[in-house]
Structure 1
């Protein structure tokens, strides 16, 4: 898997600091499992964060400096542990499983470990979903091939990781392993590719903003 769409730099820095909201962190962790490029960028972000921590507390003695650095890093780990669910406390690694139905490890506490065992619920014609019981803003979507979704923008941030199938929009083709890291400045209309359904996991920290009146009326029922 060789993703072409990656996490934004600010998202990686927030993830490294444990500052992302939990649903967004779960999707970011899912992408990191599948993207060697972003895992390397995360290591760099963590190194920068560690260096900044070290510079905020200058000390005269080198041994004291090393001890202080270890203590501050330990505090950062504690902050991450409190802010982010358990599976995300260490940097995700690429999953070795060959089973195409196997879900990324970051999703196991919320959706189980297999696409084949998911129980989908109808949301709209050609669109099915599953909401994480513990976290309603974390949602798995299955969208039929050739489906054109309503034009929309975002109240704040959205992260969407493609697990199977693909879609096109103004930003390009999003295929398995790709992540759409979007903010309120992006307006788009995804169209799923022919062939197989597009399955993705998505997290929002504010409701979508639909352009059409019909989509806006339906929104209160589908709660997106």
Structure 2
């Protein structure tokens, strides 16, 4: 089944122009490898952005971003730019999306999961002072604390599922959230939910217990 929750248009444009940070770029690329609809929207964004770059009318891009856009326009969209190489088609019981492998390796099953709370484990990589890429494994039927965001959060579901006020999120779905979003994910029963999140600022938790959790969960 194709994903039902997709990237915001500004996120796609940021990816197309090379303006996203490494953590967000990795999650966007992972979603694109799973989502035909967003790949089609990216191709359209590339075409529109390419025309603006060539016309230089009203588009404020850094030289690097403009060069990144031109480079993307030279790539054929018959296959997505994030498509795996031939060797990546080898079956794996717990495959890792190609764009995440530089940070986490090739398999979900071999990760050094760290316990951070009942039913919650994580593996995280800090890429800059405020930017973090985190894999979370949350046991079935768990309710996470209500939280909002001091910055942006981009979360991709790799396996399992969760529900919140924004809907049902299953494998391939992405939650593209900003500081105005408050939600409480509740994982589905039956299997653990594994997701990857890119963040550029800490989350804001409500309640004393959740704030205590934030001391060990720097998301």
Tell me the TM-score normalized by structure 1: 0.82
Within 5 Å, give how 1:118-157 maps onto structure 2.
Answer: 118-132=111-125, 137-157=132-152
Does residue 1:175 correspond to 2:165, yes or no?
Answer: no
Name the structure with the higher helix share: 1
CA offsets per residue over residues 152-211 of structure 1, 9 Å max, x none?
011111000000000000011100010111111111000000001000010101110111
- Residues 20-43 of structure 1 deviation map (CA, whole Å, 9 limit, x = unaligned): 121111111110111111011111
Q: Which residue of 2 aligns with 1:198?
A: 193
**Paired residue for 2:67?**
75
Counterpart of 1:111 (choices 104, 108, 111) is 104
1:222 is paired with a residue of what secondary structure?
A: coil
Q: TM-score, normalised by structure 2?
A: 0.84
Asked whether the 8 Å contact 1:110–1:133 carries over to 2, the reply is no
User: Aligned-pair RMSD on alpha carbons?
Assistant: 2.5
Moved beyond 4 Å, runs of 4+: 77-80, 94-98, 133-136
Give secondary structure in 2 for the equivalent of 1:221. Answer: coil
**Which consecutive residues of structure 1, in runs of 5 or more, have no partner in the other structure?**
58-71, 81-89
User: How do 1:154-169 and structure 2 match up within 5 A?
Assistant: 154-169=149-164
Equivalent residue pairs, number: 202
